[in-house]
Structure 1
Amino acid sequence: MSKWSMVIDLDKCVACQACSIACRFENNTPVAAPDQSEMGRAIRWNDVFPLPVEGEGEYPNTKERYITRPCMHCENPPCIKVCPVGATYQDEEGIVRQNYARCIGCRLCTVGCPYTVRYFNWSAPEWVSPLSEHLNPDRVEGSGVLEGPSIRPRGVVEKCTYCIHRLKKAHEQADAEGREFRADEYVPACVQTCTGKARFFGDLDDPTSTVAQLSQKRRAFRLLEEAGTNPKTIYLQEG
């Protein structure tokens, strides 16, 4: 069984935010109105934001550092432990998923997540034209609940899924062609579109995979390692 992981090289990331845009369109993430954004209600499955840098010159000759933050898909996810109805769960391949039909909107998981990468739907999702004409139609069934970029209703929590629907589609394509599924056929939208080639994705349990090898580099680190969550989203520090 695979253990899916993402490695993000901060040396190669150019903060173009192509990953954020690809994620939004792939997963039909609603756009927040200006007043909702000011209230902290914007939904950003894959956020890119600057980090403070001290002593790096004065404006306009300054230096900025950025980090991108999808779901960490922890091996020991605290969000699952605090969910009172089992709406947040981890599948057999280690991906932390959300059952929207079971979610009661209590938001305990958003509090329990130390990475603040879980988002509550405060209003019914809607898109203005032409965005409404370009929604991703993928609808992949899994575990008895609707997966992937299906439209999430008001009152539930959502987050990055490592584009789980793409994994389902890759398996279906392999089955249709009568062959074995290959791990390199499963690529999340953010990895596919990264202009700086800063993102890598694959099976962490396969020692020959790029992510497994990069995870052993001296530059490799995980956010809040001291929390004991053991994230499967791994970073390579600059330099």
Structure 2
Amino acid sequence: MARYGMVMDMRLCVGCQACMAACSMENQTPYWNGKFRTHVEDIEHGLYPNVHRELLPRLCMHCDNTPCLSACPSGATYRTEEGIIRINYDRCMGCYACSIACPYDARYPYDREDVKTAAELYDDDLSHRVPHVDKCSFCEHRVLEGLTPGCAGTCPTNARVFGDLDDPESEVHKLSKTGKAKPLRPELGTSPKVFYIPS
């Protein structure tokens, strides 16, 4: 069984936000309200004249030790056999316990107004029919068809590498084992499956 993960090579990210656009189109995220499953933070470090920028791609970390799953009282948050953390929209009560528990700020409300706007935009292709808390799903629907997530597939610099972390032949496995790729905030102990190579 595959164990999916992603490596973000921050040396290659140019902050073009193609990942955000692709994700929004693929997953009908409510971009009209500034809500995204993935985004790129533009962070400045230092003081003039010693200033530098850091572009930090963010999304759900699909942790093995999952605070959001433990916090969900309705069972709406669950883990697939491949380790992808998903949400059953029909079971989600919108209590936001998962959002509060997530130390990566990776979840957001898909509220009634978002559902209404999405229905106007997507009509019969609508995938978000009820209010719920939403997050990255690694585009599981694409992965099951042998494709990469929308964000990784559209990245022009290949800064996002997706695949099976347990497959020794996969690029994501090789990158995750170089010692350069590290989890974001390892002190949290969440065992994330998204790793970062610093710029």
Q: Normalising by structure 2, report the TM-score.
A: 0.91
Instruction: Give the Cα separation in 1 of the matches to 2:39 and 2:129.
Output: 19
RMSD of aligned C-alpha atoms? 2.1
State whether structure 2 residue 71 is matched by structure 1 residue 82.
yes
Instruction: Give the Cα separation in 2 of the matches to 1:86 and 1:128.
Output: 26
Q: How far does residue 46 in structure 1 lie from its aligned partner after superposition?
A: 0.4
Shift in alpha-carbon separation, 1:128–1:100, aligned structure 2, 3 A: closer
- For 1:22-33, list aligned pairs within 5 A: 22-33=22-33
- State which of 90, 97, 101 in structure 1 corresponds to 2:90: 101
Question: What is the identity, as a one-letter code, of the residue corresponding to 1:115?
Answer: Y
Shift in alpha-carbon separation, 1:99–1:217, aligned structure 2, 3 A: same
Partner of 1:150: 127
Q: Normalising by structure 1, report the TM-score.
A: 0.77
Calculate percent identity across the aligned residue pairs: 41
Give the conservation status (yes or no) of the 8 Å contact 1:56–1:63. no
Instruction: Give the Cα separation in 1 of the matches to 2:77 and 2:192.
Output: 16
Return the index of the structure with the highest Cα Rg.
1
Q: How far does residue 167 in structure 1 lie from its aligned partner after superposition?
A: 2.5
Instruction: State the Cα deviation string for residues 106-131 of structure 1 (Å, max 9, x = none).
Output: 100000000000111233321598xx
Give the conservation status (yes or no) of the 8 Å contact 1:5–1:232. yes
User: Runs of at least 4 residues of structure 1 off by over 4 A?
Assistant: none
Q: How far does residue 212 in structure 1 lie from its aligned partner after superposition?
A: 0.7
Partner of 1:63: 52
* More strand as a share of residues: 2
Shift in alpha-carbon separation, 1:21–1:136, aligned structure 2, 3 A: farther
Unmatched 5+ residue regions in structure 2?
A: none
3-state secondary structure, aligned to 2:28: coil
Q: How far does residue 45 in structure 1 lie from its aligned partner after superposition?
A: 0.4
3-state secondary structure, aligned to 2:57: strand
Instruction: Give the Cα separation in 1 of the matches to 2:6 and 2:62.
Output: 9
Unmatched 5+ residue regions in structure 1?
A: 34-41, 138-148, 171-184
